[in-house]
């Protein structure tokens, strides 16, 4: 079993719903985004075209962040392919940030309310138990939802149905079929990280 994500760039409309769904589901602190959408512009007017490239943790098979982490167990690879974190063990040395070729690691320097004048909202208070200051964070593939048999928040919220989640080890799974038929590719394959996130060309 190896969880994988397939993102169909043909279907992505750049609505940033995945960005917001991730933020809402995981109580991601201020100034941090686990899920980002990069914008690529090509061509000359009037034939210019914008491609939206959603990016989150690639959950690599050979994760360089795990190798860079000096504390065993702070960032670790699970049997189901998810690169998970133990915030209690993370010492906030930030070595994982330059090690990650995809730039998906974020350092929480401080957990601040969105409006400092009025303090934390009831929603932000709920998130205080899930995040800690001076720790490095990243997408955890909504493993708490997967454990309940649900799909990650970014997948269920996508209005263009551009995201698919499934088992990469199963050749009959939807994700494996999509990768095979639509020639799915990995980002920065030459780095040898073997990411679990595949893209389908626009």
Partner 1 sequence: KGNGDAFGLDWFKTNGQNLKAAYPISQFYGYTQFPNVRHPFYWEQLVYRRDVIKAELVKLQAKGAKPLQPSNDWELAAYHGFPEWRPHPEHKESRTEYDLYAMNYKGMEHFYGTNIDNVWLMEWAKFYNPYIMKIVMHPDAAKAKGVKDGDMVVVESMFGPTYKVEGEVKTSNTTHRQVVAIAGAYGQISANVNPVAKDGANFCALLKLTSEMSVSGNIDKDVKVKVYKKMAKAEINEKAVKTAKAEVNRQGIGGEVR
**What's the closest the beta carbon of residue 163 comes to partner 1, in angstroms?**
17
Question: Which residues in 4-23 contact partner 1 (CB under 8 A)?
Answer: 13-16, 19-20, 23
Contact status, residue 15 vs residue 21, Cβ threshold 8 Å: no
Q: Which of 5, 25, 33, 138 binds partner 1 (CB under 8 A)?
A: 33
Place of tokens 């996130």: 197
Three-state SS string across the chain, please? CCEEEEEECCCCCCCCHHHHHHHHHHCCCCCCCCCEEEEEEECCCCCCEEEEEEECCCCCCCCHHHHHCCCCCCEEECCCCCEEECCCCCCCCCCHHHHCCCCCCEEECCCCCCCCCCCCCHHHHHHHCCCCCCEEECCCCCHHHHHCCCCCHHHHHCCCCCEEEEECCCCCCHHHHHHHHCCCEECCHHHCCCCCEEEECC
Can you tell me which of 31, 62, 86, 188 binds partner 1, judged by CB under 8 A?
A: 31
Q: Which of 5, 25, 36, 82 binds partner 1 (CB under 8 A)?
A: 36
Checking DSSP bridges between strand 185-186 and strand 36-42, what pairing results, if any? unpaired
CB 165 within 8 A of CB 151: yes
- The distance of closest approach from Cβ of residue 57 to partner 1 in the complex, given in angstroms and rounded to an integer, is 17
Number of residues that bind partner 1 (CB under 8 A): 22
Q: In the bound complex, what is the minimum distance in angstroms from residue 129's beta carbon to partner 1?
A: 20
3/52 with CB nearer partner 1: 52
Options 41, 88, 148, 190; binder of partner 1; rule CB under 8 A: 41
Q: Which of 9, 37, 68, 93 binds partner 1 (CB under 8 A)?
A: 37
Site string for partner 1, 110-149 (x = CB under 8 A): ----xx----------------------------------
Contact status: 95 vs partner 1 (CB under 8 A): no
> Among residues 23 and 59, whose Cβ is nearest to partner 1?
23
Which chain residues interact with partner 1 by CB under 8 A?
A: 13-16, 19-20, 23, 30-31, 33, 36-37, 39, 41, 43-46, 48, 50, 114-115
């Amino acid at each position: 079993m190896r969880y994988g994500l397939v993102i169909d760039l043909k279907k992505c409309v750049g609505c940033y719903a995945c960005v917001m769904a991730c933020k809402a589901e995981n109580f991601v602190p201020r100034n941090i985004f686990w899920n980002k959408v990069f914008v690529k512009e090509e061509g000359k007017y009037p034939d210019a075209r914008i491609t939206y490239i959603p990016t989150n943790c690639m959950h690599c098979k050979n994760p360089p962040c795990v190798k860079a982490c000096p504390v065993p167990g702070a960032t670790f690879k699970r049997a189901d392919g998810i690169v998970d974190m133990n915030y209690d063990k993370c010492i906030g040395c930030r070595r994982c940030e330059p090690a990650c070729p995809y730039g998906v690691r974020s350092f929480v320097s401080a957990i601040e309310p969105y409006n400092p004048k009025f303090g934390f909202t009831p929603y932000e208070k709920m998130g205080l138990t899930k995040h800690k200051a001076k720790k490095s964070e990243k997408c955890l593939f909504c493993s708490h939802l997967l454990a309940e048999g649900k799909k990650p928040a970014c997948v269920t919220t996508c209005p263009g149905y551009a995201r698919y989640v499934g088992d990469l080890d199963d050749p009959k799974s939807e994700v494996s079929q999509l990768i095979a038929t639509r020639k799915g590719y990995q980002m920065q394959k030459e780095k040898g990280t073997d990411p679990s996130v595949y893209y389908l060309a626009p």
